[in-house]
Structure 1
C-alpha cells in the first residue's frame, strides 16, 4: 500500500486525537479539589461542567472542574481531528456500501464530540446527551460496521482490531446506560464505551503513517536525469 500526502495527513490527525483527549482528561481531573476526581465514579462530562454544585439526579455528586475550558477545548479538538482523519482518508480505506456507511456513522460520532464540547452537560443537557448518543450509540455501531468491511479493502486488513474495538465499545455502551459498573465503576464503564473509537483511530493512524510514500513520488525520485 502506498500512502499519498493527503492520506498521510489524515493518518497523523488520527494519531494525535486520542492522546489530546486523554492528556486533557488527566490534567483537568488532577485540578479537582474536595472532592478529587475519580475515573471510576465520575463521568467524563463532569470534567467539562462549567458550574460547581450537586449534579445528576440519578447519581448525585458534587462536581467542580476548575479547568473545564481545557477539557472542552480538547474534546472539540478531538472532534476536529477525528473528522479530518475520516475525510482525508475517505477514499483510501476502501469503497462499497459497508465502508461508506461505517465512515458516515463515525463522522456523526465525531460531530457528537463537538456537540458535547460546545454544550457542556450543565449548560444544555439535552444537546450534550445527543452528543453522547452520537458517540456511544451511532459511532460504536459505525465502528462495528467498519469491522465488517470486505477483506479486499484497507479497513478489512485490520478486521480483528476493528471488531475488537467495536464489540468492546458496544458492550461498554450497554452496561453504561444500564448503570452497571462491573467492577470498574459507572465512570470507568463510560470510558469503555467512549475510548475505543479514538484509540482505534490512533492505532489505524500509526499503521497508515508507517506505509511507504506514494508511487508517483518514488518514481520521480528514481528517474534518471536527462542532460
Structure 2
C-alpha cells in the first residue's frame, strides 16, 4: 500500500506543478491583448484561434502549452485518485475512484475541445463546457467528501477540515460563477476560486501522504 500512496502523492504534486506552470507560461505569452487573471477565463489560454469570444478578445500564442497542461493534470489527477481509492474501503472506495476518473475526463475534454468562437460555430463548445463542469465539480466534490471522511479520525482531522473548507469554497465559487455568467464581474477571478481550490487540495493531500502515509489513508474506526 505504501507504493500506492507514494505514487499517488507524486502524481498529485507533478500534476499541479505542470498545470500551474502551463498556465503561467501561456498567460505570459499574451501580448495583444495582455492576459487578465481577473477578467479572462482560464480556458482562454487554450483557445487555438484568435478573436472575440463572449466579449473577451482572445489571442493565445502558446495555447498548446495550456492544453497540454490540462491533459497532463487530468491524467495524473485521475491516476492519483484511483490509487488513493485502493487504500479506502466500501462505498467510499468506489466513489473516490469514479470521481477521480470523472475529473480526469473533464480535464482532458477541456484540453481537447477549446472555448472559442470557432468551437461555438463547429459545435464542440458544449464538450468544452461539459469537461469544465466535470473537472470543477468532480474535484471539489471529491475534496469535500473525503474531507468529511478524514475529519472523523484524530490523526487526519486537520487534513479533513482543510479539505472540507477548500471543497466548499470551490463549489460555492462555481455556483457564483454560473449565476453571474455574462454579468459585469471579474469572472476570471471567480473561476479561479473554483479551480485553484482543486490544485491547493492536491498539494495538501500530497504533503499529507508523504508525511504520514498510513494515517492519511487509514479506514475510519467506529471509536474515532
TM-score bracket, normalised by the shorter chain, equals 0.7 to 0.9
Question: What is the 5 A alignment of 1:137-176?
Answer: 137-149=137-149, 151-152=152-153, 158-176=159-177
Two-structure CA RMSD over aligned residues (Å): 2.6
Structure 2 counterpart SS, 1:158: helix
- Which stretches in structure 1 are left out of the alignment for 5+ residues? 214-227
Question: In structure 2, do the counterparts of structure 1 residues 155 and 100 end up closer, same or farther at CA, with 3 Å as the change threshold?
Answer: farther
Q: Is structure 2 residue 114 aligned with structure 1 residue 120?
A: yes
Which portions of structure 1, spanning 4 or more consecutive aligned residues, are displaced by more than 3 angstroms? 152-157
Q: Is structure 2 residue 57 aligned with structure 1 residue 62?
A: yes
Higher helix share: 2
User: 1:222 maps to which residue?
Assistant: none
The CA deviation at 1:141 is 2.4
Judge conservation of contact 2:159–2:208 (CA < 8 Å) in 1.
no
The structure whose Rg is larger is 1
Structure 2 counterpart SS, 1:38: coil
Q: Is structure 2 residue 38 aligned with structure 1 residue 44?
A: no
- What TM-score comes out, normalization by structure 1 length? 0.82
- What TM-score comes out, normalization by structure 2 length? 0.83
User: 2:129 maps to which residue?
Assistant: 129
Question: In structure 2, do the counterparts of structure 1 residues 211 and 144 end up closer, same or farther at CA, with 3 Å as the change threshold?
Answer: closer
Judge conservation of contact 1:28–1:67 (CA < 8 Å) in 2.
yes
Structure 2 counterpart SS, 1:83: helix
Question: What is the 5 A alignment of 1:1-227?
Answer: 4-56=2-54, 60-92=55-87, 94-122=88-116, 123=119, 124-149=124-149, 151-152=152-153, 158-179=159-180, 185-211=186-212
Question: In structure 2, do the counterparts of structure 1 residues 131 and 163 end up closer, same or farther at CA, with 3 Å as the change threshold?
Answer: same
* Greater length-normalized contact order (CA 8 Å, ≥ 6 residues apart): 1
What are the Cα deviations for residues 99-119 of structure 1, in whole angstroms up to 9, with x where unaligned? 532442243112100111011
Judge conservation of contact 2:78–2:104 (CA < 8 Å) in 1.
yes
Question: In structure 2, do the counterparts of structure 1 residues 102 and 88 end up closer, same or farther at CA, with 3 Å as the change threshold?
Answer: closer
Judge conservation of contact 2:170–2:197 (CA < 8 Å) in 1.
yes
The CA deviation at 1:155 is 6.7
Number of residues of Structure 1 aligned to a counterpart in Structure 2: 207
What are the Cα deviations for residues 14-51 of structure 1, in whole angstroms up to 9, with x where unaligned? 11211211111111011101210000000001000000
Partner Cα separation in structure 2 for residue 154 and residue 9 of structure 1: 21
The CA deviation at 1:140 is 2.2
